[in-house]
Chain A
Amino acid sequence: MIALSDVHKTFGSNAVLKGVNLTIESGTSMVIIGGSGTGKSVLLKSVLGLVHPDSGLITLDGKDVTKGDRDAFLARFGMLFQGGALFDSLTVWQNVAFRLLRGSLKRPKSEAREIAIEKLRRVGLKPDVADRFPAELSGGMQKRVGLARAIAAEPEIIFFDEPTTGLDPIMSGVINDLIREIVVEMGATAMTITHDMTSVRAIADHVAMLHGGVIQWTGPVKDMDQSGDPYLDQFIAGRAEGPIEAVR
C-alpha cells in the first residue's frame, strides 16, 4: 500500500502540493486526474524520490520511502514515462532489458534478450523491432517499448505518466487496454496520471482529482459521474465554466 500524508512541495514561490493525502491499496489501479500544471507529475515523482517533498510522509507498506535500501525500493517499481524516455544510444531490446543487463537483477545477455523479446510481444510488437533504435519507431511504438521496459522486471508497482498523450484515439485505446490487461495479469499496483477521461474509465479502479495542491475528490471510478463535486463535474464534462478557472 502506498500512502501519502500531508505532502507539501513548493518550487520557488509556486506551491504545487499543499498537503496531499492519498492512499493506494495494493493490487488496485489508481488514476490521478487534474488540469495541466496541477502537480500530478510532481506527486508521482515524489513517491519515487525523483522529487523531494518539502514536508509530509510517503510510505510504502508502512515504511518511509526515503529510508532503507534505495535499490531494493526502486526494484519494486516500473515506470512508463510520458515521452517514453527511451535511451537513444541503445537498441529497443537493450532498452527493454536495461534492468536485466546490470545491477542486482542482472541475467546472462541471451536470457535478457529473450525476456525483452517476450515483453515486446506482450505489448504487441514483433521481434524484428528488437534490434532497431528508438528513433526509428513511431510515437505509439515508442510508448509500447516504454511499457515493455516498465514491466520487464515484473515489478509490484507500475507508474504510468500520461500514457496516451500525443497518440491517436485508436492507439490510445490499444495502450489503455494493454495497461489494464497487464495490471490485472500481473496483479500489480498501478498509479496513473492523465487528463484523458477515456483512459480513466479504461484503467482505473479508483480515481483521485488533484486541484489547488490538494486531493479535491477521491473514490471508486463507478462513483465518479455521480460525485456531486463541482470541480470533478466540470473536469469530466470539459466545460470552461465552473469553479476551475479556464485561464490559469
Chain B
Amino acid sequence: MILLSPLGALGRTSLGFLASIGRVALFALATLRHMVSPPFYGREFAVALLNIGWLSLPVVGLTAIFTGAALALQIYAGGARFNAEAVVPQIVAIGMVRELGPVLVGLMIAARVTSSIAAEIATMKVTEQIDALVTLSTNPMKYLTAPRVLAALLVVPCLVGVGDIIGIFGGYAVATGSLGFNAAAYIKNTVDFLEPLDIISSLVKGCVFGGIAALMGCYYGMNSGRGAQGVGRATKGSVEAAAVLILAANFLLTGIFFSL
C-alpha cells in the first residue's frame, strides 16, 4: 500500500493534466466554431482590436527597442572575440525577426492582455454578469471569447511586425551611434540578409502566440473560482499557461520553419 500511494498520486496528476488538455482543446474548438458562425459582435471585436493591438504598442515598442539595442551590443562584443564585429546588422535582423520579436511580443501580450482578459471575464463570472448574458439570450462564448481571440489572431502579427522593425531600429541606433557603423551600409546589410521566410515565420508565430494568449485569458476567466481569490487564481494561471504554451509553440514552430 505504501508503494502504491505515490503511484496513485502520479496517476491522478497525469489524468488531471490530460483532462485539462482535453478541456482546453474543446474550448478552443468551441471558440473556432463561434468565430465563424453568426451572430457576430462587431463592437466587441473593435474594442478587442483596440485593447489588444493599439494599446499594446507602447509596451511592445519599448521592449523591442531595448532588446534590439542590447542585442547589437552583445553581438558586437561577442563578435570581437573572433574578429566578426561586422555581422551585427545581420544577426540583429535575424535574431529579432525570427526569434526575439515574436517571442517577446508574445510574452508581453501574455502579461498585458491575457491577464486583463482573464481578470475581466473572471470578475464578470463572480458578479453573475456571465449568467446575466445567458438570460439575455446571448452566448458568452460568442460575445466574450470569439471577438477577443479573433482580434488577437489578427492584430498580434501586426504587433510582431512593428516590434521587429523597432527592434532592428534599436540595433541600428546603437550600432551607428556608438559602435561606428555606417548607416546606409547597416540598412543595406539588414535588408539584403533577411529572406521572405524569416518574415513569414515571424508573422505566423505572432498569429499563433496571439491566439494562445487570448484563448488562455478567456479559458481561465470562464472557469474561474468564486470570489477575489478565484479571480486572482484565474489571472495567475492564465499568464503562466500562456507564457509556457507560447515558449513551447515557439520551439515547435521554429523546428517546422527550419525544416522548410
Contacts and interface: CB of A to CB of B under 8 A. Distances in A.
Interface of A: 45, 48-50, 71, 74-75, 77-79, 81-83, 85-89, 98-99, 102-105, 149
Interface of B: 39, 41, 47, 124, 127-129, 131-132, 134-138
Given A85-B129, A99-B137, A103-B138, 18 more contacts: A45-B131, A48-B135, A50-B131, A74-B134, A74-B136, A77-B135, A79-B135, A81-B128, A81-B132, A85-B127, A85-B128, A85-B131, A85-B132, A99-B136, A102-B39, A102-B138, A103-B137, A149-B136
30 contacts: A45-B131, A48-B134, A49-B134, A50-B131, A50-B134, A74-B134, A74-B135, A75-B137, A77-B135, A78-B135, A79-B132, A79-B135, A81-B131, A81-B132, A82-B128, A83-B127, A83-B128, A85-B128, A85-B131, A86-B129, A86-B132, A87-B132, A88-B129, A98-B136, A98-B138, A99-B136, A102-B41, A103-B39, A104-B137, A149-B136
A71 B131 CA distance: 14
A137 to B, nearest CB: 14
A103 B142 CA distance: 12
A88 B129 CA distance: 9
A112 to B, nearest CB: 13
Contact of A71 (B41, B47, B132, B137): B137
A100 to B, nearest CB: 10
Contacts of A102: 39, 41, 138
A82 B131 CA distance: 12
Most buried by A among B129, B132, B138: B132
B248 to A, nearest CB: 33
Contacts of A87: 124, 129, 132
Nearest to B44: A89
Contacts of A83: 127-128
A49 B137 CA distance: 12
Contacts of A79: 132, 135
B148 to A, nearest CB: 13
Q: Return the 10 tightest CB-CB contacts between A and B, nearest first.
A: A85-B132, A85-B128, A74-B137, A79-B135, A81-B128, A71-B137, A85-B129, A99-B136, A50-B131, A103-B137
Contacts of A105: 137
A103 B132 CA distance: 15
Nearest to A71: B137
Contacts of B135: 48, 50, 74, 77-79
A42 to B, nearest CB: 12
A45 B136 CA distance: 14
Contacts of B137: 71, 74-75, 99, 103-105
Most buried by B among A45, A82, A87, A149: A87
Nearest to A105: B137
A130 B124 CA distance: 21
Nearest to A72: B137
B242 to A, nearest CB: 22
Nearest to B132: A85
A164 to B, nearest CB: 17
Q: By CB atoms of chain B within 10 A, which of A45, A85, A89 has the most?
A: A85
A88 B128 CA distance: 12
A104 B136 CA distance: 11
B39 to A, nearest CB: 7
Contacts of B39: 102-103
A79 B137 CA distance: 12
Nearest to A45: B131
A74 B39 CA distance: 17
A87 B128 CA distance: 10
Contacts of A104: 137
A75 B129 CA distance: 17
Contacts of A89: 47
A102 B39 CA distance: 9
Nearest to A49: B134
Contacts of A103: 39, 137-138
Contacts of A71: 137
Contacts of A48: 134-135
